[in-house]
Amino acid sequence: MFLQRAWRQVAFGVYGFTQFTKSGFQEHSKKFKAEDMQVQLEGKNCLVTGGNSGIGFAAAEGLASHGATVYIVCRNKEKGEAALSKIQSTTGNKNIHLEICDLSSISEVKSFASRFSSENKPLHVLVNNAGLLEHNRVTTPEGLELNFAVNVAATFAMTELMRPLLEKAAPDARVITVSSGGMYMAPLSTDLQYSEPKFDGMTQYVRNKRIQVALTEKWSQIYDDKGIGFYSMHPGWAQTPGVAKSLPTFSDKLSGMLRTSEEGADTVVWLALQPKEKLISGALYFDRAEAPKHLALAGTSSSHSLIDAIVDNLRSICTLPSSTEAPANQ
């Protein structure tokens, strides 16, 4: 296991430096098709979690520039209002709305989902972008480890609770979950809240990001007849406020080599614009193309068999009904 873990780190480092940096984006963009981004989204409702900064802000701005009605979800009202104003100003799109919700709280996610659903509007695009890397063990008032609460529990609850609105937008509805290339370093684990005595926030974060990829795969199977497409993506290594705060050494050492937030968010916007027949539900995307979910010889692929047990655990933690029952916005 030690050798396998060491191999994953080496393989990830090499893969990352050649693919995830700004130069990787510039190389991959040579294959991009301009016509892919000429689609307009007028009349379509898009919800972006963590839409006030970084990848989320760039994604929200990108969707708004294509005419979508965009709802940005964030915790801080002041920062959210500043982001909303900036998006309206830069895109000329006034159909931008701010929703306040602390995604570390499942009860707040439920309250938000109930409030948002009460208007009964179809939801065409849900972007699960909000993420967190907290290096110290922090427990939320609901008893959840903080990274897990934001990265996994909130993503799961938000997606499940928004399903009725997504179904209203079928067959064009889609869920796009922003993972991280760091997930290549971790197999799936059923130890959702990191029970090991010496807490490692980075390990927990990459495990969370692996769960997001496996969840996307599972959702595509469970809801394959609901007219919803499920896609995970990773943005590469981008210079964002979150990276600067959580990984200052990494951010400093790779200064000038990291992608912009817009380059990191490019595939989110691309996934929202493409006709669904062009996309593969359950797949992982990177730089406008399907990407592998596992590195060669990394020993992570067999771990995805654990996803059923994880989903059952998540439903219990979030007190949500099974997939065969109608979601209840509590």
Look at residues 10, 1, 153, 154 and name the one whose alpha carbon lies nearest to residue 75.
154
In three-state secondary structure terms, 270 is helix
Which residues, listed in sequence order, are joined to residue 238 by a DSSP beta bridge? Answer: 259
Residues in Cβ contact with 172 at an 8 Å cutoff, skipping those fewer than 6 apart:
44, 124, 227, 276
Structure tokens at 125: 């695009």
Active site residue 205: yes
Burial of 11 (0-12, 13-18, 19+ CB in 10 A): middle
Sign of CA dihedral 98, 101, 103, 108: negative
Structure tokens at 62: 């990108």
CB 113 within 8 A of CB 131: no
Please pick, among 194, 205, 231, 285, the residue that the annotation labels catalytic.
Answer: 205
Any idea which residues carry the catalytic annotation?
Answer: 205
